[in-house]
Amino acid sequence: MMPAVIRLRHASVIVALIALPALAVACGSKGVQVNDRGAQLFADRCAGCHTLSAAGTHGSVGERISGPNLDFRKETKNTVLYAIRNGGFSGAIMPQNVVVGQDAQAVANFLAQYSGRDKQSGSSASVRGLSASARRNRANVAEAR
């Protein structure tokens, strides 16, 4: 028979292992709110610059320039794929091909579904802050759809 101290240790280890995932999710940000491969990839690769509640991301703070807040900016699959391939719409900061192939498709599908959910109707928030050349690039992508 196992001594009470050893049984207590075993029980403590089991409780800790069960509680650990819940604690990890509760710490820091809200975490990914959607069970989706694109959401996870977005959270892993894009969270440093972009805000999107569905992915539990909050962009950057401080000296680093943050990317568009995708809670307010609606994107289509085509515009997302363009931005991924070309490093955003201005090509200035976002790395090109941050995800590729099926991963890029998954991120594009996720953003097409969840971006812009907090956008005010009739607002031009989706293009605010873009340079003239970036707005032209975005318009060209939209026309190609």
Q: What is the pLDDT of residues 69-81, one digit of tens each?
A: 999 999 999 999 9
Is residue 13 scored above 70 in pLDDT?
no
Which of 101, 82, 98 lies closest to 90 in space, CA to CA? 82
Q: Are 84 and 98 in contact (CB under 8 A)?
A: yes
- Checking if the pLDDT of 96 tops 50, the result is yes
Give me the domains of the chain, ranges plus CATH numbers.
30-144 (1.10.760.10)
**Residue pair 72/119 in contact by the 8 Å Cβ criterion:** yes
Residues 50 and 57: beta-carbon distance below 8 Å: yes
Cα 74 to Cα 125: distance, rounded to the nearest angstrom: 9
Alpha-carbon distance of 117 to 102, in angstroms, equals: 24
User: pLDDT-based confidence at 121, cuts 50/70/90?
Assistant: very low
Q: CA 40, CA 32: separation in Å to the nearest integer? A: 7
String of DSSP letters for 25-57: HHSSS----S--HHHHHHHHHTTTT-EEGGGTE
